[in-house]
Amino acid sequence: MNWTDERVEKLKKLWSEGLSASQIAAQLGGVSRNAVIGKVHRLSLPGRAKAGGSTTTVRTPKRTTSAPRAPNYASRITTRTVTRQQGATMLKEEIEIDTVEEVRFRPAANVVVPISRRLGLTELTERTCKWPVGDPLKDDFHFCGCESPDSSPYCTYHQRMAYQPVNERRKAANRVA
C-alpha cells in the first residue's frame, strides 16, 4: 500500500485526534501499526509524549551494526492479527442493564442490542463479537465488538440471540446474570 496524499492526511488527522497506531492502521487498511508509527516518525509528527502506551525516551542501542538477528523471544511468536484497543470490559454491566430494560418494557421489536463499540469491519479480531448492528446498507452499520469467549464469533449475549429460538430468547435473557 502506498502512502498517497489522502492516506497521509488521514493518518495525520487520526493521529492528532489521539487514535492509537493500531486503530489508525485498521482504518487506513493495508498497513500495520508499525507502518503507521514509522510513518508518523518520518513525518516528524508529534509523538505521544506521555499518552497511552509509554515512553522512556532514550533507549540503549543494543543493535550493533552487523549483529546477527537473534530471535531471543519465542514468546513473541503469537498470532497477532489486526489489533484493537482494550476489549469490552463493561460487558457484564451492560448485559445487566439491558436485561432489566427488556423485562420492564418488552418492546415489540425484538431487536435489542446491549451495547456496541461501533466497530468497523476492519477492526474486528478473533475475539470480538461479530454481531452486526444496523442496516448494512446505511453507513452507521457496525458490529457489536464486545469480547467473545473462546473461539465463539459472538459475545455471550449475542451467542444466545444467535442460537436460541425467538420464543426462548426471553428465558435465555432472564437466565443471564
- As a whole number of angstroms, the longest Cα–Cα distance in the chain is 69
Please identify, using beta-carbon distances, which residue of 70 and 177 lies nearer to DNA. Answer: 70
Please identify, using beta-carbon distances, which residue of 35 and 172 lies nearer to DNA. Answer: 35
Least distance from DNA to the Cβ atom of residue 19, Å: 7
Give the span between the Cα atoms of 2 and 30, in whole angstroms. Answer: 9
Q: Cβ distance 142 to 118 under 8 Å? A: yes
Q: Which helix H or strand E contains 143, and what residues bound it?
A: strand 142-143
Q: Cβ distance 40 to 21 under 8 Å? A: yes
CB atoms within 10 A of CB 66: 5
Least distance from DNA to the Cβ atom of residue 13, Å: 14
153-167 burial code (b ≥16 CB/10 A, e <16)? ebbbbbbbbeeeeee
Give the span between the Cα atoms of 50 and 66, in whole angstroms. Answer: 33
Please identify, using beta-carbon distances, which residue of 119 and 161 lies nearer to DNA. Answer: 119
Least distance from DNA to the Cβ atom of residue 64, Å: 6
Give me the residues that bind DNA (CB under 7 A), please. 1-3, 20-23, 31-35, 37-42, 47-48, 51-67, 69-73, 75-76, 78, 80, 83-86, 125
Please identify, using beta-carbon distances, which residue of 54 and 167 lies nearer to DNA. Answer: 54
Give the span between the Cα atoms of 116 and 95, in whole angstroms. Answer: 11
Least distance from DNA to the Cβ atom of residue 158, Å: 19
Please identify, using beta-carbon distances, which residue of 89 and 167 lies nearer to DNA. Answer: 89
Least distance from DNA to the Cβ atom of residue 136, Å: 25
Give the span between the Cα atoms of 20 and 37, in whole angstroms. Answer: 9
